[in-house]
């Protein structure tokens, strides 16, 4: 009797790679987790811009990076070939005022909201296709952007712990 693969990337005849509802439910949960990690326990523009470790990104830089990749993923799902430059990958923090911090949080919220709207409109058949010619499948791209944001949300939590103990 042949063994059935448990890999999400291998399917038997007639099996579809539909993004399960739990994955779609991760998008708002992701937004909530990232937002919580940013606003809980005295997170201000001053804390967000502080460099706690010599070679680590700041919380603010991570916020820009997470927002950038939510936007890059959305644009790629929509079929746009996005060339990722260093400035697009890690957008600079230019305005370190409290107003600049609030605008960065709004930008993150918009990017995640637009990605979620795009994701909810994807037909099942599109999940099996490359997001752009030669790129990752839409299915893989969506899973990757969620994992990426959660990884960096974890970094934000750790950075806050270091910063608040000093």
Q: What SS3 class is residue 130?
A: strand
Q: Is residue 78 part of a domain?
A: yes
| Residue 98, both tokens | 């409290």
What is the rounded CA–CA span in Å between residue 110 and residue 62? 16
Q: Is residue 41 part of a domain?
A: yes
What is the rounded CA–CA span in Å between residue 82 and residue 70? 12
Q: What is the pLDDT of residue 160?
A: 84
The structure's pTM equals 0.75
48-78 burial, b for 16+ CB within 10 Å, e for fewer?
Answer: bbeebeeeebbbbbbbbbbbbbbbbbbbbbe
Is the pLDDT assigned to residue 4 strictly greater than 60? no
Q: Is residue 93 part of a domain?
A: yes
- The domain in which residue 41 lies consists of 21-165
Q: Is residue 8 part of a domain?
A: no
Q: How many domains does the chain have?
A: 1
Is the pLDDT assigned to residue 68 strictly greater than 90? yes
- The mean pLDDT value of the chain amounts to 80
* Most confident stretch, 28-32, 43-47, 73-77: 73-77
Residue 80's CATH number: 1.20.120.450
Q: Is residue 134 part of a domain?
A: yes
Is the pLDDT assigned to residue 44 strictly greater than 70? no
Q: Which residue do the tokens 């000093």 mark?
A: 166
Average pLDDT for 80-88: 96
Average pLDDT for 136-141: 93
The model's confidence at residue 8, banded by pLDDT at 50, 70 and 90, is very low
Is the pLDDT assigned to residue 109 strictly greater than 70? yes
What is the rounded CA–CA span in Å between residue 71 and residue 90? 13
**Phi and psi angles of residue 89, each rounded to the nearest 5 degrees, phi first:** -65, -45
Q: What SS3 class is residue 18?
A: coil
Is the pLDDT assigned to residue 142 strictly greater than 90? yes
Q: Is residue 2 part of a domain?
A: no
What is the rounded CA–CA span in Å between residue 102 and residue 132? 33
């Amino acid at each position: 009797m042949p063994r059935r693969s448990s890999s999400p990337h291998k399917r038997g005849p007639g099996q579809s790679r539909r993004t399960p509802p739990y994955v779609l439910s991760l998008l708002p949960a992701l937004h909530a987790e990232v937002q919580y990690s940013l606003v809980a326990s005295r997170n201000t523009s001053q804390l967000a811009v502080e460099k706690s470790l010599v070679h680590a990104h700041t919380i603010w830089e991570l916020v820009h990076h997470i927002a950038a990749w939510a936007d890059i993923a959305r644009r790629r799902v929509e079929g746009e070939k996005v060339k990722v430059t260093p400035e697009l990958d890690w957008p600079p923090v230019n305005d370190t005022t409290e107003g600049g911090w609030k605008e960065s949080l709004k930008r993150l919220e918009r990017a995640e909201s637009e990605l979620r709207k795009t994701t909810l409109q994807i037909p099942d058949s599109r999940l099996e296709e490359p997001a752009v010619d030669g790129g990752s499948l839409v299915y893989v791209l969506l899973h990757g952007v969620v994992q990426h944001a959660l990884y960096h949300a974890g970094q934000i939590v750790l950075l806050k712990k270091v910063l608040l103990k000093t």
